[in-house]
């Protein structure tokens, strides 16, 4: 988690923990109670699959262009993060390996399957298929 509010903007787990404790105290509820009030979500692990180094950034750009043209809710900060009524999915190129990385999250398994189908459809339009899990 990166914080730039009341801090310099570093990736800092201890600072995140202190902020969580402060929020818990401010709200008068335990961290356990706050977590218990959050909806249950289903998500994928990090899906990493091999793609030719020369294509990985181009594929993400192609997917982004198609989605933007359809008016999809896209955040292109680091790859393509798409929000839908089912949840969200992300596709990005690894900066250090010849892989594409995908993730998806939904409130229910059926929604997660629809999100994965959207990823697969976008990859297919770029001539790719989600392959076996690649290592780190």
Averages of pLDDT over runs of 10 residues in the chain (136 residues) are 64 82 95 91 95 96 98 95 98 96 98 98 96 77
Helices (H), the chain: 13-27, 31-36, 56-69, 109-125
- CATH code for residues 42-125: 3.30.310.50
SS3 132: coil
In this structure, what token pair is assigned to residue 47?
A: 């899906």
Amino acid 2: pLDDT: 58
Amino acid 46: pLDDT: 95
Amino acid 17: pLDDT: 87
CA separation for the pair 129, 123 (Å, rounded): 6
- For residue 91, the tally of other CB atoms under 10 A from its CB is 24
Amino acid 16: pLDDT: 82
Amino acid 132: pLDDT: 76
Amino acid 102: pLDDT: 98
Amino acid 12: pLDDT: 75
- For residue 19, the tally of other CB atoms under 10 A from its CB is 16
Amino acid 4: pLDDT: 64
Q: Where in the chain is the domain with CATH 3.30.310.50?
A: 42-125
């Amino acid at each position: 988690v990166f914080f730039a509010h009341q801090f310099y903007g570093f990736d800092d787990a201890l600072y995140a923990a202190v902020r969580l404790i402060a929020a818990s105290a401010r709200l008068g509820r335990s961290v356990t109670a706050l977590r218990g009030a959050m909806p249950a979500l289903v998500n994928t692990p990090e899906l990493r699959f091999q793609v030719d180094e020369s294509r990985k950034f181009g594929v993400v750009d192609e997917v982004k262009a198609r989605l933007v043209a359809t008016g999809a809710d896209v955040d292109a900060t680091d790859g393509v993060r798409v929000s839908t009524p089912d949840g969200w999915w992300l596709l990005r190129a690894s900066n250090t390996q010849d892989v594409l990385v995908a993730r998806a999250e939904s409130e229910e398994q059926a929604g997660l399957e629809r999100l994965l189908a959207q990823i697969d459809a976008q990859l297919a339009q770029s001539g790719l298929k989600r392959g076996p899990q690649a290592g780190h």
